[in-house]
Amino acid sequence: MLSAQSLLVKTVGANRGYGPGLMRIETLDGRLLFEGSHGTLAQRADQCTEPLSASQPFEIASTSKMMTAACVLLLAEGGRLGLDDRVADHLSEDALGGLDVERVTVRMLLNHTSKLPEYWASKQFIRVFEADEHREWSPLEVLPYAAALPAKTKRFYYADTNYVLLGLLIEKIENRPLEQVLRERLFVPLGMTHTWTAYREPPRCELCVCHRYEGKDDIWGQRRQTAEWAGGGVISTCEDLCRFVRGLFTGGVFGNESTLAAMRECGPTANYFDTTDITYGLGVMSTVLDDGLGHLVGHTGHGNSFAVLWPEGGLVFAGTLNNTENDFVELIWNVLDAMRKHKIIVRAKRAGK
């Protein structure tokens, strides 16, 4: 897999020193095909002198949504809620921050069809958010900013608001903090020993967390990122994310195949993403690859973190480019194209369509 390393190096080069890249490729049965890294942990040498490792933890941002969604689906599988239950039947008005969820169901939150506005789209929220990078946000503090905005009219509208409500829903039904549910339901059973919820529990890895950039702006280590919470608050590693994806798609998370099938049933998002190549299910997205290379199913996060399955070849990809201005899909496409040209496409255990 020397070509994978060279392609990773080339892709990370586009960051121009602002963010390191990590990638791991496994078969669905857990065989390691590639593990690599490139770059430095931080753009400024004085911020972290530790050499970069492929085992480095990183902020996975919205890739966390798959984990939140999995916990909700486990509750549904156990009969503790229904996907078509009204959110208002589970959460009190005090927990909704003024949001109108009278006609919103759990399923709508999961697949972003609730038409609820996004608090990140609130200019007032952004002003308060940017004013203090050390502020710790609670879920109930962000929702009023969304509630002050008009409801959306588009069928699909991607919003962290949906996943903050799902996090509150999980906590209400489980009667314990979300980070405990994630740990006991997913991290411990799947052996994700270097994964944790930022600022909600102690770090589970002694290595420094990679710095993450919006272009040249370093957004690493800012307590205000707690505003993402259930929609993007987890820190993990490439190996742990591979464990999660393998567990999710091979029966290690859900007891019923129908639960995974429901999660993977994707609907159109073209009105939001301006492409028909991306569809969205219950906490997972599907991306069609160019030139007949199939598709990826999983999730990505702000800064180009990724944890995806390539069903056509039974391969799992996990990693990050740690910069919002890069493109992980292009990296994976280039790797798969190189494997195809060199006739080393692996036909391992498959995971459906």
| Residue-wise pLDDT tens digits, 79-128 | 999 999 999 999 999 999 999 999 999 999 999 999 999 999 999 999 99
Has residue 221 got a pLDDT over 90?
Answer: no
Has residue 36 got a pLDDT over 70?
Answer: yes
pLDDT at position 2 is 64
Helices 2-13 + 328-341 axis angle, to 10? 150
Show the tokens assigned to 186.
């997913």
Has residue 347 got a pLDDT over 90?
Answer: no
pLDDT at position 348 is 44
| Residue-wise pLDDT tens digits, 263-303 | 999 999 998 998 999 999 999 999 999 999 999 999 999 99
Has residue 248 got a pLDDT over 50?
Answer: yes
Q: Which one of 48-52, 218-222, 347-351 scores highest in mean pLDDT?
A: 218-222
Mean pLDDT across the chain: 95
pLDDT at position 1 is 65
Specify the fold of 2-341.
Beta-lactamase (3.40.710)
pLDDT at position 233 is 97
- The amino acid present at 53, given as its one-letter code, is S
Task: Spell out the SS3 assignment of the chain.
Answer: CHHHHHHHHHHHHCCCCCCCEEEEEEECCCCEEEEEEECCCCCCCCCCCCCCCCCCCEECHHHHHHHHHHHHHHHHHCCCCCCCCEHHHCCCHHHCCCCCCCCCEHHHHHCCCCCCCCHHHCHHHHHHHHHCCCCCCCHHHHHHHHHCCCCCCCCCCCCHHHHHHHHHHHHHHHCCCHHHHHHHHHHCCCCCCCCEECCCCCCCCCCCCCCCEECCEECCCCHHHHHCHHHCCEEECHHHHHHHHHHHHCCCCCCCHHHHHHHHCCEECHHHHCCCCEEECCCCEEEECCCCCCEEEEEEECCCEEEEEECCCCEEEEEECCECCCCHHHHHHHHHHHHHHCCCCCCCCCCCC
Determine how β-strand 21-27 pairs with β-strand 32-38: antiparallel
pLDDT at position 330 is 98
| Residue-wise pLDDT tens digits, 172-218 | 999 999 999 999 999 999 999 999 999 999 999 999 999 999 999 99
Residues 6+ apart with CB under 8 A from 136: 199, 223, 224, 226
Distance CA(268)–CA(344), nearest Å, equals: 33
pLDDT at position 260 is 98
Has residue 349 got a pLDDT over 50?
Answer: no
Only one residue has tokens 């958010």, namely 129
Which has the closest alpha carbon to 216: 323, 58, 120? Answer: 323
pLDDT at position 50 is 84
What is the mean pLDDT of the segment spanning 146-151? 98
| pLDDT more than 90, % of the chain | 91
The vertex-231 CA angle with 248 and 235, nearest 5°, equals: 70
Residues 6+ apart with CB under 8 A from 171: 177, 178, 181
pLDDT category at 351 given cuts 50, 70, 90 is low
Buried b (16+ CB within 10 A) or exposed e, 279-291: bbbbbbbbbebee
pLDDT at position 49 is 74
Dihedral, CA of residue 191, residue 312, residue 270 and residue 338, to nearest 10? 100
| Residue-wise pLDDT tens digits, 293-346 | 999 999 999 999 999 999 999 999 999 999 999 999 999 999 999 998 887 755
pLDDT at position 44 is 81
Has residue 262 got a pLDDT over 90?
Answer: yes
Q: Taking a C-beta distance cutoff of 8 angstroms, is the pair 339, 102 a contact?
A: no
What is the mean pLDDT of the segment spanning 17-24? 97
* Lowest-pLDDT range of 59-63, 240-244, 346-350: 346-350
Has residue 353 got a pLDDT over 90?
Answer: no
- Count other Cβ atoms within 10 Å, centred on residue 6: 14
Has residue 352 got a pLDDT over 70?
Answer: no
